[in-house]
Structure 1
Amino acid sequence: MSTAAILSLALILDAMFGEPRWLWDHLPHPAAVMGRLVKALDARLNSGSGRRTKGVVAVLVLVAAGLIIGALLSLLGPIVEIIVAAILIAQRSLVEHLMAVVHGLRGGLQGGRDAVAMIVSRDTADMTGPQVARSAIESGAENMSDGVVAPVFWFLVGGLPGLITYKMINTADSMIGYRTARYEDFGWAAARLDDLLNLIPARLTAVLIAASGGVLRDWPAIAADAKQHRSPNAGWPEAAMARALQVALAGPRSYDGEMRDFPWVNESGSKSADAHAIRRCAEMLCKTWSLGLVLTVAIAAFF
């Protein structure tokens, strides 16, 4: 069975069943296992002098682990590959998290704040309704790239070894890729490699969202907005989603009690996003997933 055929079945399996919570109540989730490895490397290596070099060593360990584990699992056959890929592709759970924010907002502002706090790292206690909605939409767009398109891309490129290695580095970036006193040097390699691995997937996600939303004609404006974003990659899917929904995203927000004046993405769009806008975002992500599935099936059929 070809890599693209295995991937097509994995995408469908994830869409049908999502995260089997009953299973993860009894077994550690693969993402949690990756997190433990990153935490162990952090505890072991992130001290004393030469922290940037030690961070490079940690990344090399993660890459080697991802390649070896992926290669060993691949030897077990296509059924195992399908199941593992489905577990590590997060389309259904992404949509479920967005809909949780929709339901939270409909129950009251505090419900929306509580729900969005589960998927963003910024301060949520004093968010207005539109801020909650924008945060959810931004998270949905960015995680469509990190959690769906990038894993799909790296599976097509390198099978399970490629997918698991990507997830290792993405997990490391989410844990140690920060510009803080502790991680400025140690997390440098993880953050830079994550940027590199997401370079193509982020832009591909933007193309898929723009195509699904009928705004490919706005590509020059999408590219211009993306380049203003503080992240070299996250701005691309956010800019495409902002145009598709005709809303303004990003802008000022608070982290650790400090307000930061980030530029707007699609500044001329509506700044009054609400629960309906989040629902439309979830629908757009489903359309984007469907387009990606069609392309993957086409690759399986022709190659």
Structure 2
Amino acid sequence: MILIAALILDAAFGEPRLIWDRLPHPAVLMGRLVGYCDRRFNHGQSLRLKGTLVTAGLLATGLALGWLIQSLPDYGVLEALAVAILIAQKSLVDHVRAVATALRRSVAEGRQAVAMIVGRDTTDMTGPDISRAAIESAAENLSDGVVAPVFWYLVLGLPGIVAYKLINTADSMIGHMTPRYIEFGWAAARLDDVLNLIPARLTALLIALTHGWVDPSPILRDAPKHRSPNAGWPESALAPVLNVALSGPRSYNGIRKDYPHVWPEGRRDPGPDDIDAAADALWRVWAALLAVAVLIAVF
């Protein structure tokens, strides 16, 4: 029942500014903790060892914090609120749809909107580039921000979802292949890959099934080609649903990367309507997760 309530609360309210303009969001607090560890330990020698110990400490902190909340008397309502806060369905949909809305006004506004949700260079993006980036972000974050938290909550309860979010936050901040983080962030990136191994593939399955599509061959063909061991799975499922070629060449920090396309036979000119269709797909997967939660509660 707690997961059902959490899914509905998040879908209804998302991240209300009335609250989070006044209080620090738990994701912000997690980011501050990771930032402190970065400043405190990411220097000197043995950076991979230090990063591994920091990652282990973050994992232990998440597990302990979740257990502490669960041990409180009458914790049910508090747990439902905590889970709802750590699931990012509505905020993800809102950010994705905001790109479609902005792009309909102008390419310049579309670039500004998509820059809020992707890490690649956006200055020279065309309309199709913006749409493709928004759709890819929708697919990847559906796995990281919705399916994976639900999965780890079902497996380990509140300790599982809190620990997962801490490691995922660490990966987003320090898990980069850059000179500063290639050693210190190695453990965070690898652990995040492991924690998302099953959820990413479940996301692909849920996207396919909720669209009446059961042919796994395009996913099995394209997902392994992706630069990420996990992000390619939801992208490879969503691309055929929309008939849009995803991934492909893009630029990071002024350096062009010629990545292969996912679903290369798809259209190369996606627009705002395709972004909206991707957002609709997110809600289909959310409905499937809610149905699973209801079945678990009943049986």
Common topology (TM > 0.5): yes
> What is the distance in 1 between the residues matched to 2:35 and 2:228?
24
3-state secondary structure, aligned to 2:210: helix
Q: Which residue of 2 aligns with 1:71?
A: 67
Q: Which residue of 2 aligns with 1:43?
A: 39
Q: 2:251 aligns with which of 249, 254, 269?
A: 254
Q: 2:129 aligns with which of 131, 134, 151?
A: 131
Q: Which residue of 2 aligns with 1:233?
A: 230
> What is the distance in 2 between the residues matched to 1:105 and 1:180?
31
Per-residue deviation, residues 248-281 of structure 1 (Å, max 9, x unmatched): 0000001001111000000000011000000000
Q: Which residue of 1 aligns with 2:115?
A: 117
Q: Which residue of 2 aligns with 1:30?
A: 26
Which amino acid is the alignment partner of residue 176 of structure 2?
Y
Structure 1 runs not aligned, ≥5 long: none
Q: Which residue of 2 aligns with 1:201?
A: 199
Structure 1 stretch 206-215 or stretch 160-169: which is displaced more?
A: 206-215
Deviation at 1:149, TM superposition (A): 0.2
Q: Which residue of 2 aligns with 1:268?
A: 265
Q: Which residue of 1 aligns with 2:48?
A: 52
Deviation at 1:61, TM superposition (A): 1.1
Number of paired residues?
Answer: 297
CA contact (8 A) 1:154 1:166 kept: yes
Q: Does 1:8 align with 2:4?
A: yes
Which amino acid is the alignment partner of residue 143 of structure 1?
N
Q: Which residue of 2 aligns with 1:300?
A: 297
3-state secondary structure, aligned to 1:213: coil
CA contact (8 A) 1:215 1:243 kept: no
Q: Does 1:17 align with 2:13?
A: yes
Which amino acid is the alignment partner of residue 228 of structure 1?
K
Per-residue deviation, residues 40-67 of structure 1 (Å, max 9, x unmatched): 1111111111000000110111011101
**TM-score when scaled to structure 1?**
0.97
Q: CA RMSD in A?
A: 0.7
Moved segments of 4+, more than 4 Å: none
Deviation at 1:75, TM superposition (A): 2.2
**TM-score when scaled to structure 2?**
0.98
Which amino acid is the alignment partner of residue 172 of structure 1?
A
Structure 2 runs not aligned, ≥5 long: none
CA contact (8 A) 1:222 1:239 kept: yes
Q: Which residue of 2 aligns with 1:176?
A: 174
> What is the distance in 2 between the residues matched to 1:126 and 1:276?
21
Q: Which residue of 2 aligns with 1:211?
A: 209
> What is the distance in 1 between the residues matched to 2:207 and 2:92?
15
